[in-house]
Structure 1
Amino acid sequence: MSVRPEPSQNHLLAALSPEVQGRLFPHLELVPLPLRAVLYESGRAMRHVYFPTDSIVSLQYVMESGESTAILVVGNEGLLGITLFMGGESTPSRSLVQSAGYAYRLPRARVKEEFQRHGQLLVLMLRYTQALITQIAQTAVCNRHHSIDQQLCRWLLLSMDRLSHNHLTMTQEFIASMLGVRREGVTQAALKLRELGAISYGRGSIRVLDRAKLEALSCECYEVVKKETDLLLPYLPQRQLIKDAGSIPVVKL
């Protein structure tokens, strides 16, 4: 039997004081997030805020042509649904589950009630929002100026930072959709990274062999986001920077 995720597996929830946790935790609901599930659709009313425990959700902008690009990823470092406390009731982007797992969700009314206390949750959510703004801005720069190889490195590293486990499951088409590129471009980028020894690539999977090398092959965009996130969110655990055979992510393609 699988172990039931605890709210404390979400680092933002874990950083709250016992007093705030006591007000919020009784209203948290654990929900499964299957791959490709849509949590928020563009223009539709948002009813909950989601706190991932072992899943990753991406925010995507979808064009009239149907093409889409991910502008940020959210995992166990924070929450999904900042629009609710920024004054809006809906979002122009689509929220799509990138890596399956679980999340705790909190009703809109409870979020606003706690936010209006102007206490700890307000401070953490505002700091987290600033971290997301940095990620969005750097993603825009990266998509415009850097190669698909570098974008794939950035995406893999961001995903590793936001998981409590080491497995991702998704198709080449899905990765291409995340990066806003053609599937052939993702295949070529993965092959190049394999030749350079950063990953292994075969039988429909990507295995990160050397995180330090992956960081070296990535553009500066990952490091900019990482530094700002670490500065704004000191509650995050120290990230693993050395090669560790027991924590090698696998991406199913």
Structure 2
Amino acid sequence: MLHRRARTATSPKRTHRSRHPYIFKSLVHCGICGRKMQGQHSHGVAYYRCRFPQEYALANKVDHPRNVIMREDVLIKPLDTWLVQGFGPLHRRHTIATLLDQAHTDMPPAAAVTPEGPSVAECDAKLSRYRAALDAGADPAVVAGWIAETQAERQRAAQRHQAPAEEEARTPARLSEDQIITAVEELGDLVDALRDAEPEHKLEVYRSLGLHLSYDPETQTVRASVDLAAHRWDSVRVRGGT
């Protein structure tokens, strides 16, 4: 027995492949808690399951069933059909036009510029005059009050000037028309690969698409989204249709 164990320990390790490839591995999220659903097989059928212990649900104030289960095979065909409809050669022009229209619609309107007090330059000019008055013999107590008030106004003016720049920095850059067209064309090429892809290779295509799936157990609906300029499209019905 010791000899056999020693021989086994020194033998090269084999790389074990998964017996059951999951087509949507790490892509399906529970629509209730947002966590990734784990794959499991039962009687040769792949499922995705979200287990949420009762104590976690109570601690996080989430009304969550003990088990949320979604069957894999009922989603493949509707999902692929939805992707082809959006990115196939016959529909790409419509998808590009829709995205461009959304990009223009989602642009925030230009904010009306209304004066809310003196500017930084105006405050600096006031402070210079007050210091000159102080040098000329004005009452120091009175001038000190003017300076304190103007310094507070200057600080508010500086904050107003800084706020638009910070807001612009937080706003994600939008894709240009050429970038949207290029992205849709590239996604279309990936979608075309789904038709001939083996089940174990579909996952690679879905990940390349930036696919995100969220399963709602109450309506038995999966909301599918592709990562492109933060746009989201329609839902995919699990029970027939799209």
TM-score by length of 2: 0.21
Q: Which has the higher contact order (CA 8 A, sep 6+)?
A: 2
Q: Report the structure, 1 or 2, having the larger helix content.
A: 2
- Please tell me whether Structure 1 or Structure 2 has the larger radius of gyration of its CA atoms: 2
